[in-house]
Chain A
Amino acid sequence: EAGVVQSPRYKIIEKKQPVAFWCNPISGHNTLYWYLQNLGQGPELLIRYENEEAVDDSQLPKDRFSAERLKGVDSTLKIQPAELGDSAVYLCASSFVITGGVGELFFGEGSRLTVL
């Protein structure tokens, strides 16, 4: 069974440029998460989708970050424009969750962003 697939694995851009990350969750998982992981720290939630609906995006910096999950499957996370402080690993995870609960999260390998 395929796991959570993310691309690209690595991205190097100059500041003020846009960047997009893509995530394909495990088939059948209704919940998708985007996490940000800075070096030496634990993952921090950016946004959580239940099917197509963003149910928790309070930590997403909406002035430059946007996300979508069309059709409740794949998701993209975009940063425009990128800043130096956005350099981090962007993790996607998915799970099957009954409303109000939390299931086991399965993580992708992450997309490492370097902003120069």
Chain B
Amino acid sequence: AQSVSQHNHHVILSEAASLELGCNYSYGGTVNLFWYVQYPGQHLQLLLKYFSGDPLVKGIKGFEAEFIKSKFSFNLRKPSVQWSDTAEYFCAGNNAGNMLTFGGGTRLMVKP
């Protein structure tokens, strides 16, 4: 079955630390990939998306993700996190015509 997996369930960082959250997918062929964020008490919001083209995708709030086809990965990165980045992060993916599948989420806590 097609799936998306996130390796880290909980991550704790200090402010200014670098962030990398792992995401792997199992789709074959053309794939669309997304990272969503859910801040405490708020709804899911799109951080960034990859459909095609440049495998390094830049999103909002300084986040970026790199699509590495050979590794079936789409890891999320940020060079320097802030306390306001405390949230839950979800990787999601699909290929054309199929439903969007979410990973289990990674809960990030940034200590001030």
How many residues of chain A get a CB closer than 8 Å to chain B's CBs? Answer: 24
A60 to B: closest C-beta gap in Å: 12
Interface residues in chain B, defined as those with a beta carbon under 8 Å from any beta carbon in chain A? 4, 6, 9, 32, 34, 36, 42-46, 49, 90, 92, 94, 96-97, 99-105
Does A45 interact with chain B (Cβ within 8 Å)?
A: yes
Residues of chain A in range 27-83 having any CB-CB distance to chain B below 8 Å: 33, 35, 40-45, 48, 56
The 8 residue pairs across chains A and B that have the minimum distance between CB atoms: A42-B102, A107-B44, A109-B43, A100-B97, A107-B43, A43-B102, A42-B104, A45-B99
What is the CA–CA distance of A69 and B31 in the complex, to the nearest angstrom? 28
Number of residue pairs spanning A and B whose beta carbons lie under 8 angstroms apart: 52
When distances are taken between beta carbons in the complex, the residues of chain A under 8 Å from B94 are 102
- Interchain CB contact under 8 A, A100 and B90: no
- Whether the pair B104, A102 counts as a contact (CB closer than 8 A) is no
Q: How far is the CB of A47 from chain B (nearest CB, A)?
A: 10
Are B46's CB and A105's CB within 8 A?
A: yes
A108 and B43 in contact (CB under 8 A), knowing A45-B99, A101-B97? yes
A to B CB contacts below 8 Å, 30 in the list? A4-B43, A33-B100, A35-B102, A40-B9, A40-B104, A40-B105, A41-B105, A42-B4, A42-B92, A42-B102, A43-B44, A43-B90, A44-B102, A45-B100, A48-B99, A91-B44, A100-B97, A101-B97, A102-B94, A102-B96, A102-B100, A104-B34, A104-B46, A104-B49, A105-B46, A107-B45, A108-B43, A109-B42, A109-B43, A110-B43
